[in-house]
Amino acid sequence: MKLFLDSAKIDEITYAIEKWGIEGVTSNPKHIRKSGKSMEYFMNEVKKVVESTDITVSIEINPHLNQAEAMAEEAKKIASICKNFVVKIPATEEGLYALKLLNGSDVKVNVTLVFNSFQALQAARMGAYYISPFVGWREERGENNINFISDIVSAVHNYDFKSEVLVAAVRNAKQINEAINAKADILTAGFDVYKNAFQTPYTKMGLDIFSEAWDSIER
């Protein structure tokens, strides 16, 4: 499984690349707004970080666009900025048609806002590079995610499509575990989600026990 960072903050991205070895970055308009920078600033700065690597960065098109032709044109513009950029297009009928229009081009597409297996299947059929089901939003609204990811993984991989399932909107270690158990290809989570996942009371308890034992060893 690959690990991506869900962030538009350059300091978080460079930290995660260096310390955690992340293999990709995902962003969206909320992350850009939270960073306090412009979309152009983010694209220019993250390009400097990744352009000499194989790390991909998912950049979202304008969410107001609702016609496939306009979506495809904006996707081409974003992709032309950096070879590492993967363009996020929503899993709507027009969005999936835009993906079809981009077939044969050099544009890699991350189909985002996927919430059912049919959306995932059609994205794979149309040649998506990544397919991003959102788990956090569902769970926050009382939905059960037990079979959600595994059903999407099956919809994509049972038919040998090349698309990778990228589990998104991951909010906690429990959802990380669910993505792992569902055999997703990739998961993306925020900086603090990963930080918290490194920490458990049991690891600290074990370190306290072993430290006490260490200190009592005769010298």
Maximum Cα–Cα distance across the chain: 75
Catalytic residue among 30, 48, 77, 88: 88
**For 157, what's the count of Cα atoms within 13 Å in the CB-facing half-sphere?**
14
Q: In the annotation, is 88 catalytic?
A: yes
Q: What Cα–Cα distance (Å) separates residue 190 from each residue in 34, 41, 195? A: 12, 20, 9
Beta-strand (E) ranges in 44-200? 56-60, 85-90, 109-114, 130-133, 164-170, 186-189
> Which residues are paired to 87 by β-bridges?
59, 109
Could you give the residue numbers annotated as active site?
A: 88
